[in-house]
């Protein structure tokens, strides 16, 4: 079928195809109607492209960056900023941990830095769990408290006098430290059964987690304990790694309204 097509005909077909392509591209693109200042700002076709000049530029719509975004000068955001969040509800809304640095000095040595985060862990033990130990998430406790500056622990008793002071809150707080788990034992052998010593600041309440002895910080009817389990009758025991929270049954305050709240802050 193609025997009668010669070279000149093939060249003609290629030239015509290229011409049609150029016309098609040209029809879909046109330059701005004039150059500044003759190009009126009211005409959207006059908007300048983003370029490398020193002239300030403003973009009304969204801007996506596929690579790393770097600001070599001051960055000013006049509205909410979301990190990991598409619809921020605060001036800075972060899905995750905000981390910064603190200063550390050992004896007369030069200053170094250590990491600080703003994450919190909060647990409520409500009346329907009264008398039963709620096991705390050990990885969260260790993340916040098992470091050089420890953590702050607040125990709050909520709605403890519903008749006279509905939803009133009474609270106490302490600094809390847990011994590091990376210590090497005899002949360099690490034991997974090593006891983790812990201690609160003001009242010198301390204990060794996983030693078979229950030690606790008691704030009215709310107990922070190194027991991990028990029954609904305040029975509890420390036979493994971890900590618990207890809303005491039959204490000095109402079993039916009192909420025990435990807050851990790095």
Residue 61 confidence (pLDDT): 74
Residue 24 confidence (pLDDT): 41
127 and 238 housed in the same domain? yes
Is residue 58 in a domain?
no
pTM of the model: 0.67
Residue 259 confidence (pLDDT): 95
229 and 141 housed in the same domain? yes
Residue 171 confidence (pLDDT): 96
Rounded to whole angstroms, the Cα distance separating 254 from 221 reads 9
Q: Report CA 19 to chain centroid distance, whole Å.
A: 58
Residue 76 confidence (pLDDT): 82
Is residue 175 in a domain?
yes
Q: Say if residues 202 and 174 touch (Cβ distance below 8 Å).
A: yes
Residue 48 confidence (pLDDT): 62
Residue 215 confidence (pLDDT): 92
Residue 129 confidence (pLDDT): 93
Is residue 26 in a domain?
no
Residue 200 confidence (pLDDT): 94
Tell me which of 83, 118, 153 is where a domain ends.
118
Is residue 35 in a domain?
no
Total number of domains in the chain: 2
Burial class, 131, CB count within 10 angstroms (exposed 0-12 / middle 13-18 / buried 19+): buried
Kindly give the confidence (pLDDT) of every residue in the chain, 266 residues in length, as a single tens digit, with 9 standing for 90 and above.
444 555 455 445 444 444 444 434 444 445 555 555 566 666 666 666 666 667 777 777 777 788 887 877 787 878 888 888 888 888 887 887 777 777 777 656 788 887 777 788 999 999 999 999 999 998 899 889 988 889 999 999 999 988 889 999 999 999 999 987 644 444 455 455 556 789 999 778 999 888 888 999 999 999 999 988 777 788 888 888 889 999 999 999 999 999 999 999 98
Q: H or E element: which one contains 12?
A: helix 7-27
What residue numbers bound the domain in which 109 lies? 70-118
The Cα-based distances of 17 to 7, 11, 52, 126, 246 in angstroms read 16, 10, 37, 77, 81
Residue 84 zone, left/alpha/beta (φ > 0; ψ -120 to 50; rest):
left
């Amino acid at each position: 079928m193609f025997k009668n097509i010669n070279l000149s005909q093939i060249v003609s077909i290629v030239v015509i195809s290229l011409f049609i392509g150029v016309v098609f591209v040209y029809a879909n693109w046109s330059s701005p109607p004039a150059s500044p200042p003759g190009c009126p700002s009211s005409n959207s076709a006059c908007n300048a492209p983003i370029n490398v000049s020193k002239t300030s530029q403003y973009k009304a719509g969204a801007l996506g960056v596929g690579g790393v975004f770097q600001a070599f000068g001051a960055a000013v955001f006049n509205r909410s900023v979301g990190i990991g969040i598409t619809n921020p509800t605060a001036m800075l809304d972060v899905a995750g941990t905000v981390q910064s640095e603190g200063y550390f000095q050992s004896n007369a040595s030069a200053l170094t830095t250590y990491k600080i985060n703003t994450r919190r862990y909060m647990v409520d033990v409500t009346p329907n769990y009264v008398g039963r130990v709620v096991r705390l998430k050990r990885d969260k406790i260790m993340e916040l408290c098992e470091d050089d500056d420890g953590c702050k622990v607040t125990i709050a008793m909520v709605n403890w006098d519903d008749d006279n002071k509905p939803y009133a809150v009474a609270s106490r707080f302490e600094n809390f430290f847990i011994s590091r788990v990376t210590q090497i034992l005899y002949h360099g052998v690490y034991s997974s059964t090593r006891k983790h010593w812990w201690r609160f600041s003001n009242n010198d309440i301390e204990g060794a987690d996983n030693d078979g002895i229950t030690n606790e910080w008691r704030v009215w009817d709310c107990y922070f304990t190194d027991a991990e389990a028990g029954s609904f009758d305040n029975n509890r025991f420390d036979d493994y790694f971890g900590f618990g929270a207890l809303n005491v049954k039959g204490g000095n305050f109402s079993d039916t309204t009192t909420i025990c709240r435990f807050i851990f802050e790095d």
